[in-house]
Amino acid sequence: MIRASHARAVVSRSALITNARLVAQRVAPAELAVVVKDDAYAHGITEVVSALSGAGFHRFGALDLTTAREVRERAPEAMVFAWVFGEGDDIATAISTHIDLGVSYPSMLERVADVARRIDRRARVHLKIDTGLHRAGVLAGGWPDFLQRAAELQNEGVIDVTGIWTHIAEASYDADSAAIRRFDDAIRRAHSVGLRPRLRHLAASAASFERADARYDMVRVGAFVYGIAPGDGIGPEQLGLTPALTLSTTVSAVETVHNRTIARIPVGQVNGLYSDAEGVVDVAIRNRRYPFVRVTRTEAHIDLSGSGATVGDDVYLFGDGTHGESSLQVWADAMGSIGEEIVIRLARAAEHVYVE
Ligand SMILES: Cc1ncc(COP(=O)(O)O)c(C=O)c1O
């Protein structure tokens, strides 16, 4: 990807590795699969996968098949799980490169089986039950038939049912408990048709950290590995996780406008900074915080209130706090958003620099 240099994303490999170790210790004996969708939450998939697989992490959640292929190139031996694919996707390559496929509908199961039959390879599939989130997955009513068909295809030798999985909201304890009960029931039914999937998985960041009963054999964790809060509730700081990415830019002009000293920075709406930053979040320059006063299409204006900042000074938007900047979580809370969304918007096209 060509990365413009309006901003710079400094990504700490040691923060990623330390976060992943903390999560892994917390969820053991369940296994950690690191979710690397959206270019590893805009941290840069190539470097993230290299750093983590070099540190001994061998399971990744990719979402789509293109991402899965990128992971496979960097981590030839890893388990790579992808769960979104459709008509135009190269399922044959995914099967022959041992990508584990999350299958959410009977029609997807048949497509995967057809391709596996055609190329004479067994597909590794994880069957998805909808336990209440209604974001893909087979509903309880259709689950017995789905399992029956999966068992037939497994007996035929075209698929291996290696997993059963679901996704939960992680928004309320009671709703998650209900989803866990439905998941247990779905697993029991799988056993009753002779399926013994090795990997049962349900939890993402929040539930995997908070609930032992949500961990099963594997957890799919994205946000916490990057040191990002997945939403309301428990955040990375409380858990001892470090934000892995610091986003900065430089002052491009300093001017007096209506008796105020304004610094212009080259990060605007086209770079993913929306006007909801005005007045609610700030940046750090020379270790002091200054607020956004205006966001235009191509730049933002910072109120310097008489400081000595000058053109070319580094401007830190969010990060691990080393330069006096806020955390991404502070930004997310102030803008009524979640960290993942903000970092993906703002860091995706930044120049990426990797440090130990
Ligand atoms: C199916 C699935 N599992 C796990 C995750 C990881 O979630 P989090 O970043 O909250 O850990 C995602 C994120 O989108 C997901 O879609």
Ligand 1: nearest atom to the Cα of 228: 9
Task: Tell me what the mean pLDDT of segment 131-146 comes to.
Answer: 95
**When comparing pLDDT for 260 and 306, which is higher?**
260
Residue identifier of the C-alpha nearest atom 13 of ligand 1: 222
Ligand 1: nearest atom to the Cα of 167: 1
Q: Are residues 217 and 97 in the same domain?
A: yes
Residue 288, pLDDT score: 95
**In the chain, % of residues over pLDDT 70:** 97
Q: Are residues 154 and 253 in the same domain?
A: no
Both tokens assigned to 184:
């247990």
Compute, in angstroms, the gap from residue 170 CA to the centroid of ligand 1: 10
Compute, in angstroms, the gap from residue 221 CA to the centroid of ligand 1: 6
Task: Tell me what the mean pLDDT of segment 58-73 comes to.
Answer: 98
Compute, in angstroms, the gap from residue 204 CA to the centroid of ligand 1: 5
Residue 232, pLDDT score: 65
Inform me whether the pLDDT recorded for 71 exceeds 90.
Answer: yes
Q: Which stretches within 5-78 are classed as H helix?
A: 13-27, 37-42, 45-54, 65-74
Pocket test for ligand 1, best of 27, 126, 167, 328 (most atoms within 8 A of CB): 167
Task: Tell me what the mean pLDDT of segment 57-83 comes to.
Answer: 97
Q: Report if residue 235 sits inside a domain.
A: no
Write out the E strands in 245-350: 245-250, 253-257, 260-265, 282-285, 288-295, 300-303, 314-318
Ligand 1 touching residue 207 (CB < 6 A)? no
**Pick from 46-50, 275-279, 290-294, 318-322: least confident:** 275-279
Ligand 1 touching residue 102 (CB < 6 A)? no
Q: What is the pLDDT of residues 115-127, one digit of tens each?
A: 999 999 999 999 9
Nearest to 20 by CA among 322, 318, 244: 244
Task: Provide the residue type at 70 as one letter.
Answer: E
CATH number of the domain encompassing residue 203: 3.20.20.10
Task: Tell me what the mean pLDDT of segment 56-67 comes to.
Answer: 98
Ligand 1 touching residue 231 (CB < 6 A)? no
Residue 1, pLDDT score: 38
Compute, in angstroms, the gap from residue 266 CA to the centroid of ligand 1: 31
Task: Tell me what the mean pLDDT of segment 45-57 comes to.
Answer: 98
Q: Are residues 188 and 42 in the same domain?
A: yes
Strands 8-12 and 351-355: parallel
Considering 170, 198, 226, which residue would you say is the last residue of a domain?
Answer: 226
Q: What is the pLDDT of residues 1-31, one digit of tens each?
A: 334 468 999 999 999 999 999 999 999 999 9
Beginning with the edge strand found earlier in the chain, give each strand of the sheet holding 282-285 in spatial order: 253-257, 260-265, 300-303, 288-295, 282-285, 314-318, 245-250, 8-12, 351-355
Compute, in angstroms, the gap from residue 90 CA to the centroid of ligand 1: 23
CATH number of the domain encompassing residue 282: 2.40.37.10
Compute, in angstroms, the gap from residue 34 CA to the centroid of ligand 1: 9
Residue 3, pLDDT score: 41
Task: Tell me what the mean pLDDT of segment 138-160 comes to.
Answer: 98
Q: Are residues 167 and 296 in the same domain?
A: no
Q: Which residues contact 334 (CB under 8 A, 6 or more apart)?
A: 280, 281
As a whole number of angstroms, the distance between CA 327 and CA 317 comes to 8
pLDDT band at 170 (very low <50, low <70, confident <90, very high): confident
Ligand 1 touching residue 342 (CB < 6 A)? no
Q: Report if residue 254 sits inside a domain.
A: yes
Q: Are residues 182 and 78 in the same domain?
A: yes
Residue 86, pLDDT score: 86
DSSP classification of residue 171: S
Whether residue 199 contacts residue 163, with contact meaning beta carbons closer than 8 Å, is answered with: yes
Ligand 1 touching residue 36 (CB < 6 A)? no
Compute, in angstroms, the gap from residue 74 CA to the centroid of ligand 1: 21
Q: Report if residue 231 sits inside a domain.
A: no
Domains: count for the chain: 2
Q: Report if residue 102 sits inside a domain.
A: yes
- Residue 83 domain boundaries: 13-226
Q: What is the pLDDT of residues 225-253, one digit of tens each?
A: 999 987 766 677 778 899 999 999 999 99
Q: Report if residue 213 sits inside a domain.
A: yes
Residue 145, pLDDT score: 98
